[in-house]
Structure 1
Amino acid sequence: SKKYNLPMLQPVTRGGLFTDEITDFAGKFVKDADNDIILKLKQEGKLFKKETIVHSYPFSWRHENVPVIYYARESWFIRTTSVADRMVELNKTINWQPPEVGSGRFGNWLEENKDWALSRDRFWATPLPLWVSEDGDVFAVGSIKELQEGFIEDNGKRVFVSDLDEIDLHKPFVDNIFFERSGKIYKRTSEVIDVWFDSGAMPFAQYHYPFENKELFEKKYFPSDFICEGIDQTRGWFYTLHAIATMLFDNVAYRNIIVNELILDKKGLKMSKSRGNTVDPFILFDKYGADATRWYLVTNSPPWRPTLFDEESLAESQRKFFGTLLNTYSFFALYANIDKFNFKEALVPYEKRPEIDRWIISKLNSLIAEYTQLMDAYDVTKAARAISDFTIDHLSNWYVRRCRRRFWKSEMNDNKLSAYQTLYESLITVCKLLSPFAPFLSEEIYSNLNSITGKEKFESVHLSFLPEVIYQDKDLEEKMEIAQQVVYLTRSMRAKANLKVRQPLLKIMVVVEKSKRDALKHMKDVILDEINVKELIVLDNDSEIVNKSAKANFKSIGPKFGKKVKAAAEAIKAFGMEEITVLESGNEVELDIEGEKIKVTPEDVEIISTEIKGWVVESEGGVTVAIDTELNEQLLEEGIAREFVNRIQNMRKDAGFDVTDRIMIFFYGSEKLVNAVNSFKNYISNETLAEVVDKDTAMDGNHKQDWKIGEYDCTIQIKKVSF
């Protein structure tokens, strides 16, 4: 109405009754008058249509059957439109996660800024500190000191607030404080302040600024580094903080912000008691632990995306990450206790450690760098996932598994010491990075490690500093990455071809781009050991592992060659490896068709590849691997021996033997199984700590079990050797 200079019409009282101006319905509650209004319109011939529409409508939260009406009334406003442009400018300096909320939802809200309706007609809230005279003059009280200049009426006498023993800053006491200025009496306006103003004033109000802590607040505590809240606070807390900071300090209230979205059920529905899909977090804490619950919520999806909560996924997350981390720590603790490792020895320099140690230390430092960058950007989900990837894929599934034998050795040499120091450093660093996400488990592992070594300066992981990058070997990381790529592809191919990992194979051939061949050759022994293959051959191209032929793509050559298409197709069909290689490299092949020179492009030809008999071939990510699937007698026997070792290790575990216990093995079975075990007796003895590996059909006592190894049945008994 102000915009167009129109009068404000208010035909309804604050109680929701029509005023006397509405003569036909004066004194009637507006919602009770609906039918009377319809009847009057009908009687006057003005009723266009009458119908009932079902829709949502607000009701009193105190009385569920009492409808609420939107009511226009006078209010006190803050002229935020005067700083709207500045709020937009400052908002662009804030790091929003996700960015689109800052530039979109919040940014649009600022662009369309309206003056802030500050006052509310309630009792419980901060009284609006405005005193008004009868002629409309207004002034604001900004401190208790200023308030003490006022007075109250006590039995017809004025008593100055400064003379009172106690001052209550709330209603109704402040309503009885008056001021006299220039002969005019000022009384406080009856309204209170919008509670969102209180929340927006939080940064300085908590320090009683500017009356106390002025220098501390301005230099250290403002603006805040980080806040987070739900998406619904875009027009609430996020806005009030920003608006007040802009008006008072010409600055932002926060530098970084994470906007939280809702947690939904696994079907994407909002959780509610009526649907029966709510989750009691305390039950989850008891069942899975607070750390695992928090970890699942952080890693499942970014906080600013709706999270579909699934308890099965939570259990899987607990098992996969926390189980792996605990198993890795338990492995270290087991052998460290046996060897009484306490890190009192001098630190083995990184450059003198074995390559596998230097690799994991480099990967650890790369994790630190990535983690720091992500956390600085408040991308907590990617940071947590980076910890998970390192712990599961690199530390546990690669480093620890490849280094187990180093910990099994009886003597403490430099190689074993390096392994202990490397794994210790990896675990303690992971705990530091993990601590914001899993404060309890990280504290337990950190404390357990440090209680023995005393290497850490701080008693708690939560007092320690974020690790810094101190060693990286990117070239080594790239070499190992190529090796891992070949290994993972080969394992996948084994599974598809039903070739067990314990079954040795004779040969694989690998094709990679020229720049990676030296790295592949360097990692040859690592790859062969991982995939259980005897020989690796690096090829320049895949011509030796696949048969290739060319076929014309008629959709392409038809329009291009017209009447000569048949002759061109025959020429393409006759292509050999030389022409096919040219086309695969993206180049053209020139043909002479009936005396005319024509160029064949890669789009004109379909290359057909077929595997060579006895080989399995697969490509992924620029790597092609061919596996020789033919098995000779020696390979089959070694496969049986490896399976035999696996059964022994399971029996040792079931029997509760210590990892250092020496044993005797007695067995019997088919002739082929016996021959295989005898052929690889030394290997079996070394792997299982066996003093004796003998065929014996007359077994008695405990720890005896029947097994099936491949197609062969056998019986095995183990006994602990007493010294």
Structure 2
Amino acid sequence: MAKFRELSKESVKDREMKISEYWNEIDLLHESVDSRDGHDNYIFYDGPPTANAKPGIHHVISRTLKDMTCRYKTMKGFKVKRKAGWDTHGLPVEIEVEKKLGLTSKKDIENYGVEKFCKECRESVFFYESKWRKMSERMAFLVDMNNPYITLDNNYIESVWNLLDEIFKKGLMYEGAKILPYCPRCGTGLASHEVAQGYEMIKTTTVYAKFKKKDEDAYFIAWTTTPWTLPSNVALTVNPNVTYVKVKYKEEFFYLAENLATKVLGEDYEVVEKFLGKDMEYWEYEQLIPEIETKQKAFFVTLADYVTVEDGTGIVHTAPAFGEDDYQTGRRYNLPLINPVNEEGKFSTTIYEGRPVMECDADIITYLFENNKALKNKRLNIIIHIVGDVIHL
């Protein structure tokens, strides 16, 4: 009777290392590619991961899925070229270096020296690249690590500029404004994945502001969680298909959505008139905080489907400089873009000049109450996104 071959009592780890060494010895990656000349190509570009920290177990999982796909395609007869890549630009890298150097602001970086800081960033990404390479080799992730694309490489950068040049030549590029999340500490706009890195719950004071209708002694009521944006208000937005009411409440007249009147005012009000939002288009009102002049037509009611009656008043305070929906409404109605906030997140004009905008909420609300421009306020928990230790607007 034949006997089974006895395996040595080496550990699984030792056996894995021997297999890995053998694969490296026979150059398995390139062998799997070269042996399929003439077959259909299947091209794989890795990620790329951002080289700003050591890899974690979740990176092993994602790389396993990538490797499984490439191996499967290889077994199906494809010529699978696999190129590694490294994302070496952006805030994650810079924040890591800031922590290392003890820097806390854009001004600190400028005082330290931009070139010196960039040199530290380059050294940092290649330090972490070596950690990623070691992890990838240890888990037998078959990918060409010796010829990666690296976003800081001049050839890579030039290829991106070349693509932009071709897009421009085809007339597919235009100059305009875009609303982005912004970090005042870092002094830069944020990409979606940077915004998604974390969030923090904070308690803030919201306000129901009273916008006086221009041709009568009545007010539009609009609720906002960001009072600091009120100096930039240029319009109010309603849903064209929602029913709105004019009500009498404590000897004053207010406009708001019918479905939210009781929630905002309680039971003690009288409905004077009803109409659809579309009937309110271009109704004019007085500027809420007359700090900033504009020569463009502004301070009237606009229409948009994004306005809901789930909370607030059904009337949205609109400041095109501080929200994507607001901005799109501003484009449709040719509204002015009023942005009195500088790169440090401080007011650059108005009576609040030089102060961080979020610290001005209380003063703005006080001004509204003192000038009969606020119905009420309320404390509320809201979520703000953070980048590392950084809060963004």
What is the TM-score with the length of structure 2 in the denominator?
0.29
Higher strand share: 2
Q: Which has the larger radius of gyration?
A: 1
